[in-house]
Amino acid sequence: MKDTKTKKRDTWASRIGIIMAVAGSAIGLGNFLRFPAKAASNGGGAFLIPYFISLVLLGIPLMWIEWTLGRYGGGFEHGTAPGIFHSVWRKNRFIKYFGVIGIFGPIVIFTFYTYIESWTLAYSFFALSGKYAGLADKTAMHSFLRGFQGLENNQYFSGLGTAYFFFLITFALNIGVIYHGIRGGIERLCKIAMPLLFIFALILFVRVITLGAPDPTKPAWNISNGFGFLWNPDFSALKSAKVWLEAAGQIFFTLSVGIGVILTYASYLSKGDDVVLSGLTAASINEVTEVILGGSIIIPAAFIFFGPADIKSIATAGVFDLGFVTMPLVLNKLPFAQIFGFCWFFLLFLAGITSSVSLAQPAIAFLEDEFDVDRKHAVWIFGVVSFILCQAPVFFLKNGVVDELDFWGGTFFLVVFATVETILFAWVFGMENAWDEIHKGADMMVPKIYKFIIKYVTPLFLFFILGMWFWQEWLPIILMKKVSPADRIYVLATRVGLILMFIVLAVMVKIAWRRRRLRGGKAV
């Protein structure tokens, strides 16, 4: 018996819309904060060697895999990994449960990413209002940030009220966008936000490369040496396995592969829509943004004002310090500091919101496709559940909750999910079938070498990453060796919550397939 469901799935309005949306999902805070920090602390220009090797052997293959699997699964009215995986391997009754990761991961990341995103919106207002304009050293600016985060009471903030207010605004904006659907919400946002993001990034880029040495007595503190600090290669760093793993991790992070978002976005394509050139275009936009713009703003600018001695500690201080402490201090020293400060933080906000709305879509698509919940009710369900889940990162930031969520949702399970989908695509679906599927409606041919890379090199690369992690990190992480005794109860509670969330999603998958089987649907 055929499935009688006649509800029409949402679609993208244009090719540029899907490209901008996928690029928006990929271009996030990591392009402007995480990438320059990783490059500066892992061999400078030498870091680009493992970075681009990882891009060619890992990032681009996974990008094409996810675009192709997503479009394929969409043809069976599945917009999330459980249904897409099942469509590929119908004889395996368990494969759909591996697909739970593709819903679980985005939800976990959304719960803390939205809160961090709200900081950028808040600081956009702080920049325009001059709230931090009088702060001239790292101690004061760091205290300002900690006061805003509610980690300490000081002369700048008392409690978490301001941060929570901006979190509510940011959360509401995210829900408002996804409420209006793929075409009317996400695509419309990305078509506006992405050009604005590039305009702000170019303004800052031009301002940085035209900076002169601020102190005539220190002529070496110039933009040329700033770029030199970031990009002069230290080839000895390539002997470290950690540098290679960091590069591979950055590729995962920056392209949004292994999360499940691209699968969902591509499921709204039709069979004749190109995935080869569209996917490569979205990935290229992200790489230009990260390497050219992200790598040319914060570290070179900081070098000019803090010099070669302090820049080393600045580069390794962490992404929050780079974005919310170092960069405001740099911009405060420039004419029109309020305008440039707004450009910086609103740039980060635009990068954040185009990513966070993508993280919400897999869970909403799951409710729509597998439970026949209409869009508006699905968004309300997601909004209520995710708002409750967001409270832990907001109120327990200082107790390591965000780090724990980031590791499991945004690091470990990304690699696991990517490994599963690669094996499924190349070995279960079969490389010949996969090759034909990739090229349906394609405007260009994928180089034939990628047949070999996708089938052998990419999965081996992924197994190597997982193996190295188990060898180096597994036991200390499980035993919470690096967690302070006072925070272990919070980390343990976070892990219990993650396990329960995964179980709930797996049960929902089981219920959805039982419903389809009872009505003779396509999940059988």
pLDDT digits (tens, 9 = 90+) for 297-307: 988 888 888 88
Q: Could you tell me if 201 and 193 are in contact, meaning their C-beta atoms sit under 8 angstroms apart? A: no
- Rounded distance, CA 181 to CA 175, Å? 10
Q: Could you tell me if 60 and 283 are in contact, meaning their C-beta atoms sit under 8 angstroms apart? A: yes
| CA proximity to 405, closest of 507, 496, 323, 332 | 496
pLDDT at residue 2 greater than cutoff 50: no
H or E element in which residue 169 lies? helix 161-179
Over residues 373-395, mean pLDDT: 97
| CA proximity to 414, closest of 273, 251, 241, 198 | 251
73/519: higher pLDDT: 73
This prediction's pTM: 0.94
Give the residue extent of every domain in the chain.
15-60+100-266+283-415+450-518
Over residues 401-429, mean pLDDT: 93
pLDDT tens by residue, 62-82: 999 999 999 999 999 999 999
pLDDT tens by residue, 441-487: 999 999 999 999 999 999 999 998 888 878 877 888 888 988 999 99
Total length of the chain: 524
